[in-house]
Amino acid sequence: MPGDEHCILHIPKHPKCDACQRAKSQKRQCRRRHPEEELVCDKRATKFGEVITFDHIVTLDPAAMSVEGDANALTIKDLGTGWIECCPTSSKTEEATIAVLQQFIGPKEKVELAYTDGADELRLACNALKWRQRVATPGRPQTNGVVERTNRLILEGARTLLSQARMDKKWWSRAVRCFCLQYNASRRGMDGDTPQRKRLGYDFLGRLLPFGSLVHYIPSTKKSTAAGEKFGTTTRPGLFMGYRLHTGFMWSKDYLVLDLEAFRNNSAGKYVPILRVEKIHKKRWKAGVSKRRSTG
């Protein structure tokens, strides 16, 4: 059986992992190799921002809209560091794309070259940000194969995390963000460094826990604990949902959790607010709390 470390990213696919088998099974692929299609530019990027590529993931099924109202997501990959990001959005307009790209780049960082498939919203966003851009060959999506493979990596990762946690697919907007941060923090390249270390120069300082795992958290307000008994515990059970991020998608040192009681008592299926907390304690982990989790 796979160990606890495998349950963070589920990479590579494990033959004895139920979540991997449910979420990553697919038909056999027939590929024709075209070496020239593997390259997105003439130079090999060596640092963050030299070359980035991005594209939209569109959910055509209305039932696939996230609990937070997101119907699309912008996938971004930096070729110099291997840093990946997936940002849920309510639309794929130029304005929404610009907002995500501005959040992706830190205050002291810049983009030298952006590679896209030439979609209007992506092209206009690059123009507005004054980024030099290169467009994939029209009608040949394979020429932008880097971001296509990144899309697949993130989609498989999010599906696996949701399957492992037994949470409804409507929580995909949180699963993709958690997967990307943990990928950047733990996935090592051929040189032994993670995307986090290559971009920021230091290793991730937080805890890496399986998405949806049971934790105990300390409520951030006194009001949250005032209703309890004076001599009761100071923590509450919750579900781990990821990390709070600053501009540049850098961790703010806060975790995101769902209060377990509020989540279970939400029989109406409404959105349950995600709490921002400073400290969590890992509880015994298992896939699922009692039965398959819904949107609330």
Phi, psi of 255 (to 5 degrees): -105, 160
What confidence tier does 271 reach under pLDDT thresholds 50, 70, 90? confident
What confidence tier does 106 reach under pLDDT thresholds 50, 70, 90? confident
Q: Distance between alpha carbon 65 and the CA centroid of its chain, in Å?
A: 16
Q: What is the mean pLDDT of the segment spanning 263-280?
A: 80
Residue type, 42: D
Q: What is the secondary structure of 55-117 as a DSSP string? A: EEEE--SGGG--TTS--EEEEEEETTT--EEEEEES---HHHHHHHHHHHS-TT---S-EEE-
Residue 15 has pLDDT above 60, yes or no: yes
Query: Cα–Cα distance between 90 and 70 in angstroms, integer?
Result: 4
- Name the nearest CA neighbour of 185 among 250, 127, 230: 250
Q: Which residues contact 152 (CB under 8 A, 6 or more apart)?
A: none
**pLDDT the model gives residue 88:** 94
Burial class (CB in 10 A: 0-12, 13-18, 19+), 111: buried
* pTM, 2 dp: 0.81
- Name the nearest CA neighbour of 41 among 74, 78, 76: 78
